[in-house]
Structure 1
Amino acid sequence: MSQKVFAPWDDPNEKPLIRFENVTKKFGDFTAIDDLTLNIYEREFFALLGPSGCGKTTMMRMLAGFENPTSGKMELSGKNIAGIPPNKRAVNMMFQSYALFPHLSVWENIAFGLKRGNMDKRDIAARVEEMLKLTRLTKFAGRKPHQISGGQRQRVALARSLAKAPKLLLLDEPLGALDKKLRQDTQFELMDIQESTGTTFVIVTHDQEEAMTVASRVAVMDEGRIIQVATPDGIYEAPNSVYVADFIGDVNIIEGTVKPAGDGMYSLAWAENEPPFLASSDLPFSDGQKAHLAIRPEKIAITTEKPEEAKNAVQGSVLDIAYLGNLSTYHVQLAGGQIIKAQTANTRRLSRRSITWEDKVWISWNATAGVLLEQ
């Protein structure tokens, strides 16, 4: 039996857990969130991604109850939550600093929030043990925060945030303090924990790789607005603007003017005395319209001979080579001065490679490799 794909956002009968409806948040004259409408569904791992100052932390603080919208409606499980204090919401927030109590043990840190409620002692103990097991911290229960590693402290903060079984857990740059290797391991742990608890996670991050790894959907933000919301592969393969294409991963942007070339095909005039490129698009463009062709470097082939079959092939010379272990990125300068990046997998040892600096090369790609964008 094939597994059902998790995509509640595609189901019109599915009710969202969180609803932002025309939400605006101003601080004096400054608009931090600008007329924002967004649905987030139960069991989602939702990422808010964008540069510093784009409004993602303000959104999170509004969900947590530390800020209220200036106008618009914000709902959790169908109830308006504006004005409800943080401790009265079924929402918990995990801060970047983890905010653990240094004088309390791991066990006591996790139990802290539960003891403030009216929970029975035995129930508290059972819940703490459950959280320790979930975050693989059982054998560290008696230690103080300074006696465990950064990654373990991060898991204590997570266990404490989940102990009260919130409907929604907000994570503000939760892996910011960890080194790269540990971050990657922890991303998968976070995904496992989110899946096994079924809690809805909303994560704020400016690390695109992190958002692409953990999230069911990603919202790319800029200046208080959401530019695109889609699954990670949707954002990467079908960005809706140059801003999104450029924000996620590496990309080549070729500007030009288009004209229709039959059945969803367009030719892009991009430089004088150069043959136009051919690109397919689901979006309609008019004759003479300005457009941007966004192509990922891994979709561009690089060869010393002119390829016979390719729809788009252009000659240039190798300006630079970035060697990344598993990949090499070639920066190829075209006759008009444009620099195009092409990427190849390093399946051979360095000494066996045929292309080096200043070599004349051909770069090529097919008509469906890129995305034509209006803006």
Structure 2
Amino acid sequence: MIAQGSPHVSQNVFAPWDDPDAKPLIRFQNVTKRYGEFIAIDDLTLDIFEQEFFALLGPSGCGKTTMMRMLAGFESITDGRIELSGQDIGPVPPNKRAVNMMFQSYALFPHLTVWDNIAFGLRRDRQSKAQVDARVDEMLKLTRLEKFARRKPHQISGGQRQRVALARSLAKAPKLLLLDEPLGALDKKLRQDTQFELMDIQETTGTTFVIVTHDQEEAMTVASRVAVMDEGRLIQVATPAAIYEYPNSVYVADFIGDVNIIEGTAKPNGQDLYQINWSDDRAPINAASEATHAAGQTLHLAIRPEKIAITAKKPSGAVNAMQGKVLDIAYLGNLSTYHVELPNGQIIKAQTANTKRLARRDITWEDAVWVSWSPTAGVLLEQ
């Protein structure tokens, strides 16, 4: 899992969101966007800092693309204010903002060469031939497209077209680059490779990137921080590691990665320790939490599958251990995920790393097994 902070820089070096004196590059202040009776963005406040690679993540219709279009100037704000470098950009037309947007379709000119596609915006700004030549050559080098400069878009691959669109977007040196599902058209392997290319280019140029995606893995890979959205609201804004390890709600825990959710009632059991009564005929679960929870309060324990051990024999000394039966196994090459049904019908997912070549499984379908985890393995959530 990614360390907190920038993908390439330790958090001690780059974490402006933790600095009370840092001034954000972008500031959403109580922004609302309505389409008739429908509220697309609901009183949203958010700061994004210079040189961040910031991800807006959420399901279709959550408002992330509307936020991006308001930043670009393609949508007006119903209420509130958006600032860029301290300036209210609400009245500023799109072509006057220091913002560029890269669309999912790439929107390249099919009749122009790669070189001319990148040069297009520079020529419209009436830059001199020497300036245009120097800048296009710089962008071709940055995106490793020098060999393809004289080709047309249909003569290069999807990944190369994506890099052309990126080079064209960066050519005018915007303060802010908006990327709307930029890797959606690429196959999985190419998408993964391109994610790292994007991170390298973002770090090299120092441009602030804001990416819209519904792909959790993509957001977690590229971003310095992620904003998880739902129904026009921000549910949690944090580093990828914090969102994964310390989700603030069942919604975020369930949306990011795979998770087990066990519902029960709390009973304090010492400092920062709780017993969770979750089934009438089962022993309570022991869980640690720095947050204070009242006796009898309904809580949800969120535990990631990789934090649960699965064994054929009962583990000695395990605080939380329960027996069940293997219902299903998902073999993913590097990992195997076991779906274990407990006697009360609860399904627990446990994940193991396949560090050895599998000749035959130690644990297979229908086997009686034990699942176990430590009190600190999960997160207790109120909602």
TM-score class normalised by the smaller sequence: over 0.9
Further displaced range: 115-124 or 188-197: 115-124
1:50 is aligned to 2:58? yes
1:97 matched to 2:105: yes
Structure 1 match to 2:297? 289
What does the per-residue CA deviation read over 1:105-156, in whole Å, with 9 as the maximum and x for residues that have no partner?
0000000000011311101100000000000001100000000000000000
Return the offset for 1:73. 1.0
Map of 1:128 onto structure 2: 136
Identify which range, 249-258 or 339-348, moves more after superposition: 339-348
Aligned residue pair count: 374
Distance of 2:358 and 2:324 partners within structure 1? 22
Report the Cα distance in structure 1 between the residues aligned to 2:220 and 2:238, rounded to whole angstroms.
11
Q: How many Å apart are 1:352 and its aligned residue? A: 3.7
Letter of the aligned partner of 2:180 in structure 1?
A: D
Question: What is the DSSP-based 3-state SS (H/G/I as helix, E as strand, rest coil) of the residue aligned with 1:273?
Answer: coil
Match of 2:93 in 1: 85
Question: What corresponds to 2:3 in structure 1?
Answer: none
SS at match of 1:351: coil
After superposition, residues 324-339 of structure 1 pair within 5 angstroms as 324-339=332-347
1:67 maps to 2:70? no
Q: Within 5 Å, give how 1:311-350 maps onto structure 2.
A: 311-350=319-358
The residue type equivalent to 2:52 in the other structure is E
1:167 matched to 2:175? The reply is yes
Q: What's the CA shift string for 1:31-78, capped at 9, x where partnerless?
A: 000000000000000000000000000000000000111001110000
Which residue of the other structure, out of 253, 256, 259, is the alignment partner of 1:248? 256
1:115 aligned residue (123, 126, 131): 123
Residues 58-101 of structure 1: per-residue CA shift (max 9 Å, x gap): 00000000011100111000000002110000000000000000
**1:227-255 Cα distance to aligned partner (Å, 9 max, x none):** 00000000000000000000000000000
Q: Structure 1 unaligned runs (5+)? A: none
Corresponding residue of 2:276: 268
Q: Secondary structure at the match of 1:347?
A: coil
Secondary structure in structure 2 of the residue aligned to 1:75: strand
Q: CA deviation at 1:5?
A: 2.6
Which residues in structure 2 correspond to 1:139-218 (within 5 Å)?
139-218=147-226
Give distance in 1, aligned partners of 2:154 and 2:369: 56
Which residue of structure 2 aligns with residue 29 of structure 1?
37
SS at match of 1:340: strand
* Residues 192-231 of structure 1 deviation map (CA, whole Å, 9 limit, x = unaligned): 0000000000000000000000000000000000000000
C-alpha separation in 1, matches of 2:291 and 2:178: 36
Q: Secondary structure at the match of 1:182?
A: helix
Shift of 1:270: 0.5
Q: What's the TM-score, normalizing by structure 2?
A: 0.97
1:362 paired with 2:367, answer no
Query: What SS does the aligned partner of 2:366 have?
Result: coil
Q: Output the CA distance in 2 between the equivalents of 1:208 and 1:305.
A: 35
Instruction: Tell me how far apart the structure 2 counterparts of residues 310 and 352 of structure 1 sit (CA, whole Å).
Output: 27
Deviations 1:165-204 (A, max 9, x none): 0000000000000000000000000000000000000000
Distance in 2 (CA, whole Å) between partners of 1:116 and 1:306 is: 71
Q: Do structure 1's residue 278 and structure 2's residue 258 form an aligned pair?
A: no
1:106 equivalent in alignment to 2:114: yes
1:138 aligns with 2:143: no
Instruction: State the 4+ residue runs in structure 1 displaced beyond 6 angstroms.
Output: none
Structure 1: how far apart are the matches of 2:218 and 2:133?
Answer: 34
1:42 aligned partner, one-letter code:
E
Task: For 1:31 and 1:157, locate their aligned partners in 2 and report how far apart those are by CA, in whole Å.
Answer: 32
RMSD, aligned CA: 0.9
Amino acid at match of 1:259: K
Separation in 2, partners of 1:236, 1:112: 41
Amino acid in the other structure paired with 1:76: L
Unaligned runs of 5+ in 2: 1-8
CA distance in 2, matches of 1:232, 1:352: 36
Shift of 1:350: 2.7
* Counterpart secondary structure, 1:112: helix
Give secondary structure in 1 for the equivalent of 2:261: strand
How far residue 354 of structure 1 moved from its aligned partner, in angstroms, is: 1.1
Deviation per residue, 1:265-284 (Å, 9 max, x gap): 11100101111001111111
How far apart are residue 332 of structure 1 and its match?
0.2
TM-score relative to the length of structure 1 = 0.99
Instruction: Indicate whether 1:231 and 2:239 are aligned.
Output: yes
